[in-house]
Amino acid sequence: MQDRKAVTSTRTAQWIAFLLLLTAAVGLASRSVLVRVSRMKAADTSVSAFIKMPPGTFTKVVVRVEKVAGGHLTCTLLQRETDAVYRLPAAASGAEVSAVLRPDTPIVMGKPADIVPGAIVQLAGVLDQTHTLRASEVVVLTGYVRVAENRPVSR
């Protein structure tokens, strides 16, 4: 009778330990996903704010890639309308963004082959002395957001 109780206690303890480990693993995985989701919140940097940023400023911008030359990107800054819709700015001057990607720049969502002319990406990084964004992170948003056509101004 004592052996039967000991075996039952051991099995119960093993199940409890297993469930605790499983709960901890699920908790850590959930935390990791939530941290990545919070990092991927779409940027809302306006053209006027971007123009005024001094060198050394960390910023996030959503852009449409116009030209790719190695690790150098020429882009157009987009204005956030909703989480899924962006618009080209009304005033084209100042909306140009130059960015530099290093070979080890992490691409949080997407892959390097997705960074082509016409792609919509979020770049995070620091502005240098020439107002070029030194990207420290890239999120490819093509397929998740769209660029709305500019509406004609009605009078």
The domain spans of the chain are 1-39, 47-148
Look at residue 38 and tell me whether its pLDDT is greater than 60. no
More confident residue, 34 or 123: 123
Does the predicted TM-score (pTM) go above 0.75? no
More confident residue, 48 or 111: 111
Give the integer Cα–Cα distance in Å for 79 and 11. 60
Domain spanning 47-148, CATH architecture: Beta Barrel (2.40)
User: Smallest Cα–Cα separation from 74: which of 22, 131, 126?
Assistant: 131
Burial of 100 (0-12, 13-18, 19+ CB in 10 A): middle
**What is the DSSP-derived secondary structure letter of residue 87?**
E
What are the C-alpha distances in Å from 92 to residues 1, 99, 106?
A: 85, 18, 29
What per-residue confidence (pLDDT) applies to 146?
87
Lowest mean pLDDT of 32-41, 60-69, 138-147, name the range. 32-41
Q: How confident is the model at residue 155 (pLDDT cuts 50, 70, 90)?
A: very low
Tokens, residue 15: 């199940």
What per-residue confidence (pLDDT) applies to 7?
66
Give the integer Cα–Cα distance in Å for 85 and 80. 7
Q: Does residue 83 sit in helix, strand or coil?
A: coil
What per-residue confidence (pLDDT) applies to 127?
93
Q: Say if residues 104 and 89 touch (Cβ distance below 8 Å).
A: no
